[in-house]
Amino acid sequence: MAAQALFLAPVVRAVTSEEDTARALGGDMVAWNALIAKYNRRVVVALLARGVPIERAKDVAQDSWLRLIEQQRAGNLRELKLPALAVTQAIFLSIDAARRDSRERATHDDEAEHVVDPCPGADLRMMSEERFAIADRVLSKCAPSARKVFELAYGGEGLSHADVATRVGLSTQRVRQIVCEVRKLLRVALEGGDR
């Protein structure tokens, strides 16, 4: 598949995501490759979280990028909110593929009437309100600076540790430590330790 050609070797480029997004919307493939290199992991992880096997998740992620590029070339892409748009695209593709597989199995097997869709609703969130409350208690105990670092690393576009370090004026190593500590606290709380 031509998707392999989308993934260039990482190049050090002094441009922001906003600039890459604007260029990608203008059809610049270098910018597209930079965005793919930056956000593809988030897309794959979102699929893995929904139970999609690893190889399939990687294929679907590539397909979703190709679809986005096709839409841009066709003039159907007015804005590009990443990684959310790519994640949504990938989830719909995986649901579509799962339903297609189910139909194919059903035609070959009369007993396959109760096929379970491995990808239920596209708007399924990982977090219930109860778990949000638990996480909020954990974050409220963190130092404001640590909370800010966590938000930059995981929220919105999800900056790299190096980008977060530049934004908050800390070393990359320190940012990595903080993210690791907050993640550990949240993990313990969300997996049942703070209930």
Partner 1 sequence: MTGEHLVSSALEAYVAGELDAEMSAVVESHVAVCSACATRLTGEAQLEVAFAEVADRSVAQRERVSTRRSSFAAGVAIAMAASVMLFLAPRGHADETVSPATAPSIAFERPTLVEADASTASAQLDRSGDAAMKLGRD
Which are the contacts of 91, defined by CB distance < 8 A and separation ≥ 6? 46, 47, 50, 119, 122
d(CA 76, CA 189): 43
On the 0-12 / 13-18 / 19+ scale of CB atoms within 10 A, 124 is: exposed
For residue 111, state whether it binds partner 1 (rule: CB under 8 A). no
Is 106 or 177 the residue whose CB approaches partner 1 more closely?
177
Residue indicated by tokens 């109860």: 130
For residue 71, state whether it binds partner 1 (rule: CB under 8 A). no
CA dihedral sign, ordered 23, 25, 31, 34:
positive
Q: Which of 20, 33, 35, 42 binds partner 1 (CB under 8 A)?
A: 42
Q: Contacts with partner 1 in 160-189 (CB under 8 A)? A: 183, 186-187
For residue 88, state whether it binds partner 1 (rule: CB under 8 A). yes
- What is the separation of C-alpha 178 from the centre of its chain, rounded to a whole number of angstroms? 21
Tell me how far, at minimum, the Cβ of 140 lies from partner 1, in Å: 9
Is 73 or 145 the residue whose CB approaches partner 1 more closely?
145
Under the rule (CB under 8 A), what is the footprint of partner 1?
41-42, 45-46, 48-49, 51, 53-55, 58, 81, 84, 87-88, 123, 125-127, 131-132, 135-136, 139, 147, 150-151, 153-156, 158, 183, 186-187, 190-191
